[in-house]
Amino acid sequence: MNQSRWRKFRKRVVRHRMLILMALPGLAYLVINNYLPMLGVTIAFKEIDYSRKGLFNLLFGHEWIGFKNFEYLFRTDDAYTITRNTILYNGLFIVLNTVVAIAVAIVLNEIRSRFMSRLYQSLILLPYLISMVIVGYLALSMLNVENGFMNKTILPLLGIDPVSWYSEPAYWPYILTFVNLWKNVGYLCIIYLAAIVGINHEYYEAAVIDGASKWQQITRITVPLIAPTITIMMLLAVGRIFYSDFGLFYQVPLNSGALKPTTDVIDTYVYRGLMTLGDIGMSSAAGLYQSAVGFVLILLSNWLVRRRSRDQALF
């Protein structure tokens, strides 16, 4: 019985060897890029010996030290700071970006002129297309201490003294939130606009006949009907709340040490541990902490998405 199934399988493999061959490059790539690093997470439990290189040593070499790296990590205040920053920033981004994007999408949908609507869409999507390095330049042109637009033009108009932005951590929660909103609202707006455009027009026609105002149409028809999209987009974002936009937190504050209390998140901490401090133990422990909690959160959010809409779930 078992043997005949095995033979059937073998026959199938031989018969469809071309399909397997076609899948091979992609699968090999996923093994190299994703599955080897997944096996490599064990280095968080090891003392790295730099003289031992190669695949075998990455997976099986080095001395096991148990949870020591994690003990070091959680004994410092760093673990608390980066976890707090990551969750608070991402939580704020999710709520604020969603609210603003929906509002903009609703306004955009009301614009009658198709040409103008397209033009507005192109313009608000522009920030989404550029790299975070460029965003760093744009932020610098605004915030530069000696020449920046804020210190030289806006603050003098308001009669406020110049601020040395890149050494005052207190302002950065606002700055980063604004930059994130500026960069991503166009993208989210397009998603929600697609949902709004899909609403059947008869609802609005019936509402107008019944004398509904524009505001009533928005709150009673538009928002309830795009609620499923909103829920799913937010759940997907919550699933990724432990991962931050590394570029935003690295490029925009110009990697300034003075700003660390309010700009350091898990991703920047892991990066700095690996590339600048050379503290692979601590860095890999923080990385695994992120991957593990992130995994649980993604499963949880996927489970919630699945309960609402089978098609939208990842699996």
Partner 1 sequence: MRTNAVQQTLFHAIMAALSAACLFPFILLFVVSFSDEQSIILNGYSLIPDSFSLEAYRYLWGQLTPLARAYGITVLITAVGTITGLLISSLLAYSLSRDEMPLRRVLSFLVVFTLLFNGGLVPTYLVYTEVFHLKNTLLALIVPGLLTNAFFILIIRTFFKMSIPGAVIESAYIDGASEWTIFSRIILPLSLPILATIGMMLTIAYWNDWFNGLIYITNPKLYSIQNLLNRMLSNIQFLMQNDLGGRSSESLAQMPMNAVRMAMAVIGILPILCIYPFFQKYLVKGLVIGAVKG
Q: Which of residues 202-221 bind partner 1 (CB under 8 A)?
A: 214
CA dihedral (95, 96, 98, 102) positive or negative: positive
Contact (CB, 8 A) for 142 and 150: yes
Q: Which of residues 254-273 bind partner 1 (CB under 8 A)?
A: 254-255, 267, 270-271
Tokens 């601590």 locate to 282
Contact (CB, 8 A) for 18 and 32: no
For position 171 contacting partner 1 by CB under 8 A, the verdict is: no
Tokens of 24: 């091979």
**Minimum CB–partner distance for residue 202 and partner 1 (Å):** 20
Binding region for partner 1 (CB under 8 A) out of 73-81, 133-141, 169-177, 201-209:
133-141
For residue 232, give every residue at least 6 positions away whose Cβ sits within 8 Å of its Cβ, in sequence order, or none. Answer: 305, 308, 309, 312
Contact (CB, 8 A) for 299 and 313: no
For position 2 contacting partner 1 by CB under 8 A, the verdict is: no
Tokens 């996927």 locate to 302
Cα torsion 271, 277, 280, 284 to 10°: value is -30
For position 147 contacting partner 1 by CB under 8 A, the verdict is: yes
Contact (CB, 8 A) for 244 and 176: no
For position 99 contacting partner 1 by CB under 8 A, the verdict is: no
**Minimum CB–partner distance for residue 18 and partner 1 (Å):** 4
Binding region for partner 1 (CB under 8 A) out of 74-82, 203-211, 219-227, 228-236:
228-236
**Minimum CB–partner distance for residue 238 and partner 1 (Å):** 14
Pick the closest to residue 269 from 259, 256, 282, 258 (CA basis): 282
Q: Which of residues 24-83 bind partner 1 (CB under 8 A)?
A: 25-27, 29-30, 32-41, 43-44, 53-55, 57-58
Contact (CB, 8 A) for 77 and 165: no
Tokens of 122: 């192109």
- The single residue among 171, 234, 246, 293 that binds partner 1, judged by CB under 8 A, is 246
Binding region for partner 1 (CB under 8 A) out of 89-97, 131-139, 167-175, 204-212:
131-139
Q: Which of residues 271-290 bind partner 1 (CB under 8 A)?
A: 271, 274-275, 280, 283-284, 287-288, 290
Q: Between residues 172 and 271, which has the closer beta carbon with respect to partner 1?
A: 271
Contact (CB, 8 A) for 186 and 126: yes
**Minimum CB–partner distance for residue 213 and partner 1 (Å):** 9
Residue 298 amino acid letter: I
Binding region for partner 1 (CB under 8 A) out of 72-80, 85-93, 110-118, 167-175:
110-118
**Minimum CB–partner distance for residue 296 and partner 1 (Å):** 10
Tokens of 208: 């107008």
- The single residue among 49, 67, 122, 278 that binds partner 1, judged by CB under 8 A, is 122
**Minimum CB–partner distance for residue 293 and partner 1 (Å):** 11
Task: Count residues near partner 1 (CB under 8 A).
Answer: 105
Residue 78 amino acid letter: D
